[in-house]
Amino acid sequence: MDTRRRFLSSGSLLLPGWATAQPKAEPATTGPLLLANTVYPPLVNPQGHASGEGVDVDIAREALRRGGWRDGVEVQWVPWKRVLFMLERGLADFTTTVNHSAERDRFLRWSTSYRAGKHYHFYTRRGAGVKLDKLQDLRGLRLAVGSGYIYPQPVLDEVEGRVEHARDVGSAVQLVEHQRADVVIVTALVGLWEIRQLGLADRLERQPLQYFNPEPTYMGFAKASPRAAAGLAAMDAGLASMLRDGSIGRIEKRYVR
């Protein structure tokens, strides 16, 4: 510690009692919830996208409104690792489109599940002569994936390391279109949206092979946020209402028809 810091540290002991006894300000429990998210169309769209903020952002806003949260939501788009960093430290209140893990239990509270599992689809170039009916048909093929996402291990086992990584889902789809990979794996909703946005629906062929991962999807609330408990209660009440009346399915259909 340098001389100046020692002086300030010792000098603080001489402050009047009323100054040192001031209570710390209580953290705010009202105001807009900060939603930290990464771009994952059409579930989470880029800021200002013409079709809207995305399926899961719309679901979160509507669920919170129905659950009685009156202070609104602000969205911050950052890479996924940054999302987790912010939630762990209470720099954001919640995120959408998250899967449960034991490690995340340490810093997240989980909402009611609002999507039951994921269907994975496989696309190849039209006319390439590839036919995929079962997982074993992937052997010998080059698989395109988006970096940073978790894919089913049984699928990865079949391609035995022949994996081409792209920066995101759209880029992975384009690897197949440019013949740098033989097949791309995508979640059903996200993959269909990307292929249509890229104008590749007529150039790619969806294969009969599907893979279902039963892991549910949640909203994750930061335990370090003073608003987490109230926000989670509102979210759960709103999601229950939306699951009862089919609102979630109707929101999905607005983005992918």
Q: Which domains, from first to last, does the chain contain?
A: 33-115+216-255 (3.40.190.10), 118-213 (3.40.190.10)
Give the position of tokens 């035995």: 160
Q: Name the residue with tokens 């028809």.
A: 257
Beta bridge mates, 205? 124
Q: What is the pLDDT of residue 257?
A: 66
Question: Quick count: other Cβ atoms within 10 Å of Cβ 153?
Answer: 8
Residue 255 phi/psi, 5° resolution? -95, -35
Per-residue model confidence (pLDDT) at position 117: 87
Q: What is the pLDDT of residue 218?
A: 96
> What is the pLDDT at residue 139?
96
CA atoms within 13 A on the CB side of 221: 21
Q: What is the pLDDT of residue 195?
A: 92
Per-residue burial over 225-257, b = 16 or more CB atoms within 10 Å of its CB, e = otherwise: bebbebbbebbbbbbeebeeeebbeebbeebbe
Report pLDDT for 40: 86
Q: Is residue 1 classed as helix, strand or coil in its secondary structure?
A: coil
Mean pLDDT for back-to-back runs of 10 residues, the chain (257 residues): 37 37 47 92 91 96 97 93 94 94 93 93 96 97 86 94 90 95 92 89 96 93 96 98 96 84
User: Are the beta carbons of 164 and 180 closer than 8 angstroms?
Assistant: yes
Return the pLDDT at 193.
84
